[in-house]
């Protein structure tokens, strides 16, 4: 089966995933085993409010949830209950558009969202919501400034990591605050991603922390930075 599949126990914890699920969520089966459903589908409000896995345990029947929006366009989750060795389990299958089309849709929707704002003050909440929704972080912030002088504009950040430093490229930190390579994937880490204006200056930084720094989520942060780069002069006309 090529689609992501996750098996949950009655306490809503992962007991097994297939290789496609490892690619989809950006984590190994070993890391995901024992995690609660809400930890994997964090940020997808529809899953939290209308969890098909939870419904399937109650109804003992197959349940389906359709999610269509900025976070995961055209995602369909099938939850199928079954019993194995006396245990009640639910097999969840995630059907969605191909990842490359999904990434294009996310970029398009994020750009359209920013086009509704004329200033960074107007756009700040939408940007922070997108960072949380498109990654698995629980803390994020926007810094503005130039050179090595940046101040927190909105949200939360890590001033001790940003003060006095210049950022020409994304910096990724492990949960211990140590830099790590692009090939690494920490279950808990942080990112500081510069937004580069057309003239080469860096008037804005995105901070994301307390969450997975898997390759997929890092790519999404850099996508958001790239989209912001195209409109940063409009949002920050005096930068």
The model carries a pTM of: 0.58
For 140, list phi and psi in degrees, rounded to 5: -155, 160
- What local confidence, expressed as pLDDT, does residue 72 receive? 47
d(CA 99, CA 74): 12
Rounded Cα distance, 184 and 155, in Å: 27
Q: Does this chain's domain 5-95 share its CATH topology with 99-235?
A: yes
Mean pLDDT of the chain: 82
55 is written with which tokens?
């419904």
pLDDT at residue 239, as a whole number: 65
Judge whether 79 and 85 are in contact, CB under 8 Å. no
How far apart are the C-alpha atoms of 91 and 74, rounded to whole Å? 20
Q: What is the pLDDT of residues 105-150, one digit of tens each?
A: 778 888 888 998 999 999 999 999 988 877 778 889 999 998 788 9
Q: What is the mean pLDDT of residues 28-33?
A: 90
Residue 101 has pLDDT above 80, yes or no: no
Domain boundaries, the chain: 5-95, 99-235
Sheet-wide strand order for 189-195? 149-155, 139-146, 204-211, 189-195, 171-174
- Write the CB contacts of 120 (distance below 8 Å, at least 6 apart in sequence): 142, 144, 153, 204, 235, 236
Give the model confidence (pLDDT) of 155-212 as tens digits: 987 776 677 678 888 888 765 555 555 444 545 678 899 999 988 999 999 999 877 7
pLDDT over 60 (residue 4): yes
pLDDT for position 48: 65
Measured CA to CA, the distance from residue 11 to residue 87 in angstroms comes to: 11
Q: Quick check: 26 pLDDT over 60?
A: yes
Bridge partners of 155, per DSSP, are 141
- Dihedrals φ, ψ of 79, to 5°? -115, 120
pLDDT of residue 102: 66
pLDDT at 182: 47
What homologous superfamily is domain 99-235 in, according to CATH?
GAF domain (3.30.450.40)
Per-residue pLDDT, averaged over 52-81, amounts to 79
Query: What pLDDT was estimated at residue 183?
Result: 47
Q: Which fold has domain 5-95?
A: Beta-Lactamase (3.30.450)
């Amino acid at each position: 089966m090529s689609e992501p599949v996750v098996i949950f126990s009655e306490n809503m914890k992962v007991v097994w995933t297939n290789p496609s699920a490892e690619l989809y969520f950006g984590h190994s089966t070993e890391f995901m085993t024992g995690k609660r459903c809400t930890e994997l589908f964090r940020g997808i409000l529809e899953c939290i409010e209308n969890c098909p896995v939870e419904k399937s345990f109650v109804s003992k029947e197959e349940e389906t949830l359709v999610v269509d929006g900025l976070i995961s366009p055209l995602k369909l989750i099938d939850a199928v209950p079954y019993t194995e060795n006396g245990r009640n389990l639910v097999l969840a299958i995630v059907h969605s558009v191909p990842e490359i089309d999904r990434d294009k849709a996310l970029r398009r929707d994020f750009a359209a969202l920013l086009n509704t704002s004329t200033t960074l003050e107007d756009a700040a909440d939408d940007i922070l919501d997108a960072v949380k929704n498109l990654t698995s972080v629980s803390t994020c912030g926007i810094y503005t400034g130039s050179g090595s002088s940046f101040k927190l504009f909105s949200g939360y950040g890590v001033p001790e990591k940003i003060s006095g430093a210049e950022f020409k490229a994304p910096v990724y930190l492990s949960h211990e605050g140590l830099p790590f390579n692009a090939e690494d994937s920490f279950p808990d880490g942080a990112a500081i991603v510069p937004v580069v204006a057309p003239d080469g200056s860096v008037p804005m930084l995105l901070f994301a922390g307390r969450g997975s720094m898997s390759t997929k989520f890092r790519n999404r942060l850099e996508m958001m930075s790239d989209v912001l780069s195209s409109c940063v002069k409009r949002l920050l006309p005096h930068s």
